[in-house]
Structure 1
Amino acid sequence: MTGFAGLVAAARENAAEWDRTGLPADVIGAAAGAGLLGPDRPREWGGHGLDAYELGELAAELGAVCTSLRSLLTVGAMVSAAVDRWATAAQRAYWLPRLVSGELVAGLAATEPGAGTELAGVATVFEEDGTELRVSGRKLWVSFGAVADVLLVLGRTEDGPLTALVRTDQPGVVVEPVTGQLGMRGARIAHITLNGARVPRDQLIAPPGFGLSHVLGTALDHGRYTVAWGSAGMAGACLHEAARHAAERTQGGTRLADHATIRAALGRGWVEVQAARALCERAARARAAGDPDTVMATVAAKYAAAETAARVGAEAVQICGAAGCAADSPVQRFARDAAVAQIIEGSRDIAALHLGEQVLTRMARAEDGRG
């Protein structure tokens, strides 16, 4: 991918600064130029046609240097995947080249004050207004919402949940940038208030009733997948940093790495990182094969990788000590980002609940001889 190596190198050098100030516009533009806003979309729409494994490795490489840059990949890919799957042919021809190229930066506006995990409870409403619709509501924690040109908005109608692409450069859209949050501080997060913003009918993605289960379902599944791989990359980077520090740091003439407790911590971390990657690879194989188990394989990968990033990141901070607590320390930044990874696209408890339901379903099937 043209320009990708340079972008990764820039992230290694500047990620701490971006964490303080947000991803700059020129970096977002460079990311778009490198093909990060829909790399798995078909080439006819400007994508690179990456397969599931290639997309995962891309997310892992970004996750190992800058979570906010990985988040840009995630958000762009979520929206473009949902449009590619559920939009009409005319909508795909218009929107996908613009989304994938970065001509239009996209955000996903789903979460609300009263609807986070349970998106069926959204209060945002689409109402008929002659030849178009108007949308009103308040959306929270929209990644890249502060710079988005268009939002994929989830709301409700009398006929069921609806999603639509809503342009932000119009009256009725109020953007409130968010700063100082726990993690992903570079991801240009914003709260969005919609006050009767106009929505032409040709910007509705799928009919009413399909907005949550189908359109948002596709986007969130795609998001979990890249978050899983990105978290695995982040965990690996934390382990590497902890091992490097342990090998270089001496106390009383003894390297930290020569302490049995440090070596044991590094060994546990290595096993956890390998296990998380194995689940990510399993999810990649399921996606490539069109396996019916793809969704749950992705949930399992995201759950395990985010948990691993949190545990390995926290351990890395302890091993690195004061150096790990410094403002520009990558392990300090990753430890904060990992806490957010445990929440986004489905919190760890909700993921564990779904996985537990699968355990019981499979056990019942095994007992009655159905597999």
Structure 2
Amino acid sequence: MSAPATTPVALPARATALVDALRADAATWESTGVPDGVIADLAAAGLLGADIPTAHGGSGADPAGFGEVCARVGRVCGSLRALLTVQGMVAAAVLRWGDADQRARWLPALAAGDAVAGFAATEAGAGTDLSAVATRVGAVSGDVAVSGHKRWITFGERADVFLVLGTGTGGHTAVLVEADRAGVSRTPVSGQLGLRGARLADVRFDAVRVPAANVLAAPGFGLSHVAAVALDHGRHSVAWGCAGLAEACVDEAAAHAATRVQGDTALAEHQLVRAALGRMAVDAAAARGLCERAARLRACGDPGSVVAAIAAKHGASRAAATVAREAVRLLGAAGCAPGSAVGRHARDAAVFEIIEGSAHVAELHVGDDLLARHGFRAGRRP
């Protein structure tokens, strides 16, 4: 089964229509997780394979179209947007580094929602530095055996297939591991600060055997090529989702200030409130601008698109965290109440500053790129 063909222009409107219908339920997902039925709804709307090419069953959205989908879903639920992110990360890796058989097997299934993906990279000793992964991938009688313990895997509780990053005699290796294979076990994670609806899990691979045909690219290219493509796609998606989250918080805070009366005075009459709203609006607009620039560079294949995505993810996640916190302050008790959208956004935004590259690491990448363009190389005297 393939996802219905849609045009990139129609996708953002489809995303808006879907999340508007689901908006009232989003708060409940913090305790239940995003339901399987909602995942199916995303697939049926052509959103789960939004930027998978139409030739492979997807909707074929360009970077800006896909980004706008993430922004509109991110306005309502960060966990739901995280599903688009991880699905897209694995699909991007398969599209770029998979062979014809791997693309034919996995891309239509990912687009149709017949397979939900998990990106199994992080470990207890390998978060920011994925080169330190301890998971072992080795050849066994014509197959590949995978052994390791992955942590904090988004939709790991639900995933049908994992893109696993490990290491072996040939170096870092990326391999697709079906969740129903013997030796795969998962432990749901709950109670975390944010992304409470994203069905996180710790996943163990105990000498799991898969066909050698499940390996993406050659051993030694798992981190530098396969995971790098996935992470680049993830930053693009997270950045746009954060821009949408910031815009949603601005709208909710402004609506509250315009209608809330304390004593005989409307909240919006206070200069400090209006100034805060102005700062929030500027931060949200700046986040969107960074995302749009990254999408333009990505669309034309500009080599600078990778650093642009890092900058967009860093700037947008920082804006989302700042704007969401300010929105909670302006809403007061309403912003802290159970089920509050801005309260949920504030918790999620704190996580978004960490995933797919922490703020400090992002700043180093952007700074190093800037210096390189001015001729500086570390360890070399000017």
TM normalised by structure 1 equals 0.96
Q: Select the residue among 330, 335, 338 that pairs with 1:319.
A: 330
1:291 aligns with 2:302: yes
Q: Select the residue among 269, 272, 284 that pairs with 2:280.
A: 269
Q: Select the residue among 14, 29, 32 that pairs with 2:43.
A: 32
- Matched-pair identity in %: 55
Assess if the C-alpha contact under 8 Å between 2:115 and 2:159 holds in 1.
Answer: yes
1:198 aligns with 2:209: yes
Q: Select the residue among 32, 37, 58 that pairs with 1:21.
A: 32
Match of 2:262 in 1: 251
1:281 aligns with 2:305: no
Match of 1:151 in 2: 162
Letter in 1 for 2:260: R
State the distance in 1 between where 2:226 and 2:125 align: 21
State the distance in 2 between where 1:301 and 1:252 align: 42
Q: 15-24 or 311-320: which moved more?
A: 15-24
Q: Deviations over 1:114-141 (max 9, x none)?
A: 0000000000001221020110000001
Q: Deviations over 1:174-232 (max 9, x none)?
A: 11011111101111110001101112111111110110010000000000001000000
Letter in 2 for 1:77: G
Alignment of 1:89-100 (within 5 A): 89-100=100-111
TM normalised by structure 2 equals 0.94
The structure-2 alpha-carbon separation of the partners of 1:316 and 1:84, relative to structure 1 and needing over 3 Å to count, comes to same
Letter in 2 for 1:302: K
State the distance in 1 between where 2:324 and 2:348 align: 9
Report how many aligned residue pairs link the two structures: 365
**Per-residue deviation, 1:170:** 2.0
**Per-residue deviation, 1:35:** 1.9
Assess if the C-alpha contact under 8 Å between 2:15 and 2:72 holds in 1.
Answer: no
1:101 aligns with 2:112: yes
Assess if the C-alpha contact under 8 Å between 1:3 and 1:30 holds in 2.
Answer: no
Match of 2:355 in 1: 344
Q: 231-240 or 2-11: which moved more?
A: 2-11
Match of 1:209 in 2: 220
Q: Deviations over 1:229-257 (max 9, x none)?
A: 00000001011111111111111210111
Give secondary structure in 1 for the equivalent of 2:354. coil
Give secondary structure in 1 for the equivalent of 2:324. helix
Match of 1:114 in 2: 125
Give secondary structure in 2 for the equivalent of 1:152. strand
Q: Select the residue among 76, 93, 97 that pairs with 1:86.
A: 97
The alignment yields a C-alpha RMSD, in angstroms, of: 1.2
Letter in 2 for 1:177: P
State the distance in 2 between where 1:225 and 1:295 align: 9
State the distance in 2 between where 1:298 and 1:278 align: 12
State the distance in 1 between where 2:114 and 2:140 align: 29
Letter in 1 for 2:302: D
State the distance in 2 between where 1:33 and 1:317 align: 34
**Per-residue deviation, 1:3:** 6.0
Assess if the C-alpha contact under 8 Å between 1:11 and 1:66 holds in 2.
Answer: no
Match of 1:137 in 2: 148
Match of 1:180 in 2: 191
1:358 aligns with 2:355: no
Q: 12-21 or 258-267: which moved more?
A: 12-21
State the distance in 2 between where 1:291 and 1:204 align: 28
Q: 31-40 or 302-311: which moved more?
A: 31-40
Assess if the C-alpha contact under 8 Å between 1:144 and 1:189 holds in 2.
Answer: yes
Assess if the C-alpha contact under 8 Å between 1:257 and 1:263 holds in 2.
Answer: yes
Match of 1:369 in 2: none
Runs of 5+ consecutive residues of structure 2 not aligned to the other structure:
1-10, 377-382
Give secondary structure in 1 for the equivalent of 2:374. helix
State the distance in 1 between where 2:291 and 2:16 align: 23
Match of 2:7 in 1: none
**Per-residue deviation, 1:171:** 1.7
State the distance in 2 between where 1:154 and 1:360 align: 31
Q: Select the residue among 56, 80, 105 that pairs with 2:67.
A: 56
Give secondary structure in 2 for the equivalent of 1:364. coil
Letter in 2 for 1:12: R
State the distance in 2 between where 1:253 and 1:359 align: 53
